[in-house]
A and B are shown apart, each in its own frame.
Chain A
């Protein structure tokens, strides 16, 4: 079956620290992989995506590389800001596109 496992939080970092949130997946076929972010009081929104192995998704200074050999899609940012405080969800979509499978979310708090 299809599933996503992501690093549990909460994570608290100082401004300008390096961020890694781990995500691994199990999937049949060749899924697309996503990171969604939920800022306080807002709906989930797409942060970045990668549709095939070795693709790197990037947006707002965040990056994640689709690693088929390790079935991973870890989220990284070199220097976090207070405005990055949010809950981050790793997700996959099976090749039919009918269902998206989400991880449990990782809460990030960045302190000045």
Chain B
């Protein structure tokens, strides 16, 4: 389809392991966002890309979290030394124009469970 695609849809890992979550945005969208949604909460901002560069990474909780978007399209969120508190649904969204206050187009999310 033409929507935002996220893989894997579900990931179960053990505490201390490394995890990568992938987001394939809508073709041509320059802005890409990562959010984290814990149970019963709204999406919490992590990082925002404008093209290839991270324009705002102020939401990343600590240095175990890192995200890249090397060619300005697909993005990968990387989590090192996972902790049980990292368990959440990780949402990716894209938007046509960087810095625009218009609509975000969300993927269905990657559910991460850290045992």
Q: What B residues does A42 contact at CB under 8 A? A: 108
A102 touches B101 (CB 8 A): no
Size bracket, chain A contacts:
20 to 34
Secondary structure dominating the interface of B: loop
B101 touches A104 (CB 8 A): no
Q: What A residues does B35 contact at CB under 8 A? A: 102
B40 touches A44 (CB 8 A): no
Q: What A residues does B42 contact at CB under 8 A? A: 4, 89, 91, 102-105
Q: What B residues does A62 contact at CB under 8 A? A: none
Q: How many A-B residue pairs have CB under 8 A?
A: 65
Q: Choose among B56, B91, B102, B107 the residue that contacts A99 (Cβ–Cβ < 8 A).
A: B56
Using a CB-CB cutoff of 8 Å, which residues 1-52 of chain A contact chain B?
Answer: 4, 31-32, 34, 36, 41-46, 49, 51
Size bracket, chain B contacts:
20 to 34
A81 to B47 CA separation, bound complex (whole angstroms): 36
Q: A43-B4, A44-B91, A89-B43 are in contact. Are A100 and B104 (CB under 8 A)?
A: yes
Chain B nearest CB from A75 CB (Å) reads 14
Q: Given A41-B108, A45-B106, A104-B41, list of 8 further CB < 8 A pairs?
A: A43-B107, A44-B106, A45-B105, A91-B42, A94-B101, A99-B56, A99-B59, A105-B41
- Interface residues of chain B, those whose CB is within 8 Å of chain A, are 3-4, 31, 33, 35, 40-45, 48, 55-56, 59, 91, 93, 98-109
16 contacts between A and B (CB under 8 A): A4-B42, A36-B104, A43-B3, A43-B91, A43-B107, A43-B109, A45-B106, A49-B102, A97-B98, A97-B102, A98-B48, A99-B56, A100-B45, A101-B45, A102-B43, A104-B40
